[in-house]
Amino acid sequence: MAALRIPGVRLAAGAAGIRYQGRDDLVLMALPPAAQTAAVFTTNAFCAAPVQLARRHLTQTSPRWLLINAGNANAGTGARGLADAEACCSALAVAGHCDPAQVLPFSTGVIGEYLPAARIAAALPTLLTALREDGWEDAARAIMTTDTTPKTASARCDIDGREATVVGIAKGAGMIRPDMATMLAFLATDAAVPQALLSAILRETVADTFNAISIDGDTSTNDACVLCAAATLDAPPVRTETAAARALTQAVHSVCDTLATAIVRDGEGATKLVTLEVAEAASPAEARTVADTIAHSPLVKTALFASDPNWGRILAAVGRAGVPELDIARVRIWLDDCLIVSGGGRDEDYTEAAGRAVMAQDALRIRVALGRGQAAVRLLTCDLSYDYVRINAEYRT
């Protein structure tokens, strides 16, 4: 497999001793001068200091650097947390010969602890000398927290007769119910894309990839998804409503979908990847509410872990989702292609053996048809295991 690479985008990973010992925990990403950058962030009111600062910097200038640390979220840290994030940006600005506003900071890890800014600053000279275009894999490993595997993806598309590339990395395995994007995800393309179009592509893609996953129903304080257009491809800038724009959007969607699926597959303690499909809803919001209710039910999730076709738990989740005047006689529920509920109760052809066979798989679908309209949604989730409790009970020990 060829190394992941975007011409002009250079990355380096190193060990700053932020929380972890004996592993990389700091990433530096350098962007070329003509690059454009778009980002979306968490909606959590207690958003982390780096989120606040990155938002501000994006309104001031075009970023030249991304600085990402693992092990410490720098969230719930008040004025000092913001000062620490600013200090890291200033240190990189001096070393990287740019304005501090041209640095976007990102953090992930334990909430409520102060960021060791001095350690991060001390590690920067080494990272600056290690920057290289094929540093994506190392960066993916360095930003991991409870992840068990690095998450990378790439796709190619045609831009006016030239082959453009999209590369992405992500981290996340717990505290996953994004209300914007995902835990942390960073994507880049060599295409030239105006900032407004780049932002539109990112938001459109995030809506049904990173924003359509849930592991545990918790929205992080630090979620961010960034898309950079390096403008190093020998092709004209991508324009709105063109074949090139559609091709690039599809490539970005492919990368984000792969990364989002990898996050759910790597959910803390997860043993099953579950696709929830809710159709025949009166509106997309109604369909999403039903999907969320199923995805966040501890009883459904533990039944999934046990491979137990306890379909009554799914039925109950649909019934309590708050759908007004739901006609239960019109509701149908499937496990894969096995119809389990119809006419207000268990389908007359359903057998426990058929349901158990589906539940024994490590990937399955739960499908719900509400019989109310044409709206539909798709959501990825996973089961809830003993290991999820253990991992989170021991997270700070």
Longest dimension (CA), the chain: 72
Question: b or e along 374-394 (b: 16 or more beta carbons within 10 Å of the residue's beta carbon)?
Answer: ebbbebbbbbbbeebeeebee
Would you please indicate which residues are annotated as catalytic (active-site) residues? 182
Q: Do the Cβ atoms of 177 and 184 come closer than 8 Å?
A: no
Which of 266, 252, 55 shows the shortest CA–CA distance to 168? 252
**What burial class does residue 275 get, using C-beta atoms within 10 Å of its C-beta: 0-12 exposed, 13-18 middle, 19+ buried?**
middle
Sort strands 184-189 and 332-335 into parallel, antiparallel or unpaired.
unpaired
Which of 204, 198, 197 shows the shortest CA–CA distance to 181? 204
The set of residues, in sequence order, having a beta carbon less than 8 Å from that of 393 and lying 6+ positions away, is none
Q: What is the CA radius of gyration of the chain?
A: 22
At 338, which helix (H) or strand (E)? strand 338-342
The set of residues, in sequence order, having a beta carbon less than 8 Å from that of 385 and lying 6+ positions away, is 269, 270, 271, 305
CA dihedral 53, 55, 56, 59 (to 10 degrees): 150
Which of 67, 166, 70 shows the shortest CA–CA distance to 124? 67
What is the C-alpha end-to-end distance of the chain, expressed in Å? 38
Q: Within a 10 A sphere around the Cβ of 83, how many other Cβ atoms?
A: 15
Q: How far apart are CA 242 and CA 382, in angstroms?
A: 37
CA quadruple 341, 347, 349, 352: dihedral sign: positive
Q: How far apart are CA 183 and CA 177, in angstroms?
A: 9
Helix axes of 195-207 and 243-265: crossing angle, nearest 10 degrees: 40
